[in-house]
């Protein structure tokens, strides 16, 4: 069990800056995120899109913002637990016991939810029967590519993931690539590679087709796909892979006894505390009168929640407000020279 002053759920910009604020006032923290990388929506949804309303930063992309926030955290040792989703939060005496789907267990007086719109999960096929084959014949990511050697694989999607895996699997397997339209949004070089493999007969390409049903007993046997004109084709498939990006789902947070309203959590505007003592919500996921879903608001909310954490993490100490420009204690924590 990991003991910490505060656990932050979500490694997006708000979670990162909240960690900075906690460390600055002398508290330690851990960050858990369900994605395999740091940056949250900034890195998953718009890494290349410019943002124009970060104070004092006229223009930066989601990726640049994430990198700058990580740079700002460099003086501090912060442990990230990526690829982990918090499943369970329970009170035990004065502390919250937090469990993840990877069996990490934390004990902490403070849990800060900086979860955006929830955790990112893969988008699945709309066909309901696919659930029966999930993780056996139908997958939304590739963990062990050897599983697919020499098999019939139907890959759905038009982005880089779909195209990269189509190219990769075309070396040793029979690949069908199915996409809802003629245009692909993957990198041009990969698109060109796919077309050359199609020409060589290594990939069977079906554009303007979508899945309508799956057939098989226990394991997948074939898939029916239908085009815009209603024409149905049956393609033999041992495996189906769907690459439709990620969607945000509130997930287990809904079961923690918090006041949730339209996928957001009600908080006060002094501590950004929820209806549960020691659980805070900051960033896009919190709600209060006048809430703006802006990154800059998340920074403010995190700064205040961090101060509230101090009271519970150090009940016998008094928090003193200090400026980074003048405080020797803070400069020591940052590892910079005092004047």
Partner 1 sequence: MFSHTCPIFLHNYIISMAKITYITHNNEKHTIEVQSGLSVMEGAVQNDIPGIDADCGGGMACATCHVYVNDDWFDKLPKKENGEEDMLDMAFEPKKNSRLSCQIIVTDELDGLTVGIPLKQG
Binding site for partner 1 (CB under 8 A): 41, 45-46, 49, 117, 123, 126, 157-159, 179-181, 183, 185, 210, 228, 244-245, 247-249, 263, 284, 293
E strands in 114-173: 119-122, 138-139, 152-156
DSSP H stretches of helix in the chain: 13-24, 41-44, 62-72, 130-133, 160-169, 188-199, 295-313, 328-334
Q: Which is nearer to partner 1, 59 or 317 (CB)?
A: 59
State the nearest-atom distance from the C-beta of 171 to partner 1, in Å.
Answer: 25
State the nearest-atom distance from the C-beta of 162 to partner 1, in Å.
Answer: 9
State the nearest-atom distance from the C-beta of 118 to partner 1, in Å.
Answer: 8
State the nearest-atom distance from the C-beta of 180 to partner 1, in Å.
Answer: 6
Q: Which is nearer to partner 1, 145 or 185 (CB)?
A: 185
Element (H, E) at 220: strand 219-227
State the nearest-atom distance from the C-beta of 77 to partner 1, in Å.
Answer: 32
Q: Which residue has tokens 């700058």?
A: 68
State the nearest-atom distance from the C-beta of 247 to partner 1, in Å.
Answer: 4
Distance CA 111, CA 272 (A): 11
Q: Which is nearer to partner 1, 263 or 331 (CB)?
A: 263
Single out the residue of 37, 252, 17, 245 nearest to residue 114, CA to CA: 17
Q: Which is nearer to partner 1, 125 or 310 (CB)?
A: 125
Q: Which residue has tokens 């979670």?
A: 15
Single out the residue of 311, 337, 330 nearest to residue 76, CA to CA: 330
Distances (CA, A) of 156 to 184, 190, 206, 219: 12, 15, 10, 18
State the nearest-atom distance from the C-beta of 325 to partner 1, in Å.
Answer: 35
Torsion of CA 227, 159, 47, 290, to 10 degrees: 20
Q: Which is nearer to partner 1, 93 or 261 (CB)?
A: 261
DSSP 8-state code for residue 54: B
Q: Which is nearer to partner 1, 38 or 248 (CB)?
A: 248
Q: Which is nearer to partner 1, 40 or 302 (CB)?
A: 40
């Amino acid at each position: 069990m990991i003991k910490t002053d505060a656990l932050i759920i979500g490694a997006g910009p708000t979670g990162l800056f909240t960690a900075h604020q906690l460390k600055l006032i002398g508290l330690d923290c851990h960050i858990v995120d369900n994605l395999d990388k740091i940056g949250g929506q900034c890195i998953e949804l718009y890494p290349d899109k410019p943002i124009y309303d970060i104070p004092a930063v006229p223009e930066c992309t989601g990726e640049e913002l994430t990198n700058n926030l990580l740079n700002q955290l460099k003086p501090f040792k912060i442990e990230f637990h990526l690829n982990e989703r918090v499943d369970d939060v329970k009170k035990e005496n004065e502390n919250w016991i937090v469990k993840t789907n990877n069996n990490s267990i934390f004990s902490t007086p403070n849990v800060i939810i900086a979860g955006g719109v929830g955790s990112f999960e893969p988008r699945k096929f709309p066909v309901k029967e696919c659930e029966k084959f999930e993780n056996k014949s139908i997958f939304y990511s590739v963990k062990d590519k050897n599983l697919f050697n020499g098999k019939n694989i139907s890959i759905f999607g038009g982005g880089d993931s779909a195209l990269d895996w189509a190219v990769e699997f075309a070396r040793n397997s029979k690949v069908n690539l199915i996409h809802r339209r003629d245009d692909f949004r993957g990198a041009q070089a990969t698109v060109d590679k796919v077309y050359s493999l199609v020409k060589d007969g290594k990939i069977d390409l079906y554009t303007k087709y979508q899945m309508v049903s799956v057939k098989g007993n226990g394991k997948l046997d074939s898939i029916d796909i239908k085009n815009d004109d209603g024409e149905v084709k049956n393609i033999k498939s041992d495996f189906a892979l769907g690459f439709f990006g990620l969607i945000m789902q509130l997930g287990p947070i809904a079961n923690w006894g918090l006041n949730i309203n339209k996928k957001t959590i009600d908080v006060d505007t002094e501590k950004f505390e929820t209806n549960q003592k020691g659980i805070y919500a900051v960033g896009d996921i919190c709600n209060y009168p006048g809430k703006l879903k802006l990154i800059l608001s998340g920074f403010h909310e995190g700064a205040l929640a961090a101060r509230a954490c101090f009271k519970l993490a150090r009940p016998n100490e008094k928090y003193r407000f200090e400026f980074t420009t003048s405080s020797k204690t803070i400069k020591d924590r940052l590892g910079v020279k005092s004047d």
